[in-house]
Amino acid sequence: MLENPSTLSVVVDDLTAGEPLIYALVDLVLGLSDRTHALIADVLRELDLSQPLADALWQLDPQVPAPPMRELADKLRCDPSTVTFLADRLEEKNLAFRQVDPSNRRVKTLHLTPAGKDARDTLVTAITTRTPMAHLTPSDQRHLHHLLSLAVGAKWPR
């Protein structure tokens, strides 16, 4: 459970002495990402995946329609040519295949193979159970989700 807000304020003030609070927040978010990646390194080795390939698998949710490759590039925050490279590697590993969109033949979508679905399931399980956020209570997870959603959805510049 989150600490008493007045106690938390003192702790935050102590931690951010000399730096703005936003610095400490960004540092924590980056540290959380780094820690999560470190905690799944063995799974990435087992699956023979680089971090960018794992990120692509993470985005390919088999429960929703396959995204156009340009949309996948947006989700991965990369150039479409990078997604082409990642799709080539996933196809070489028999984890995904490209398909022309029947409604627009200029658009290609990336789909998981059965082996790709298995690899994604292994990856998702590892990330969601090993991340430090898994140790938060469900209530704290919902609260953090709300705050991060606000931050990500904020309109910039302010």
Tell me the average pLDDT across 17-31: 88
List the alpha helices (DSSP H) in 16-137.
Answer: 21-39, 41-47, 51-59, 69-76, 80-92, 114-130
Residue 60 lies in a domain: yes
Find the CATH number of the domain harbouring 81. 1.10.10.10
pLDDT (average), residues 16-44 = 90
d(CA 64, CA 2): 34
Q: Which domain holds residue 81?
A: 40-133
> Tell me, what's the pLDDT at 102?
86
17 belongs to a structural domain: no
Q: Work out the percent of the chain whose per-residue pLDDT is above 70.
A: 85
Q: Where on the phi/psi map is residue 113: left (φ > 0), alpha (ψ -120 to 50), or beta?
A: beta
Q: How many domains does the chain have?
A: 1
> Across-strand partners of 97?
111
Rounded average pLDDT over 114-143 = 96
Residues 83-107 pLDDT 10s: 999 999 999 999 999 999 888 888 9
The answer as to whether 16 is a domain residue is no
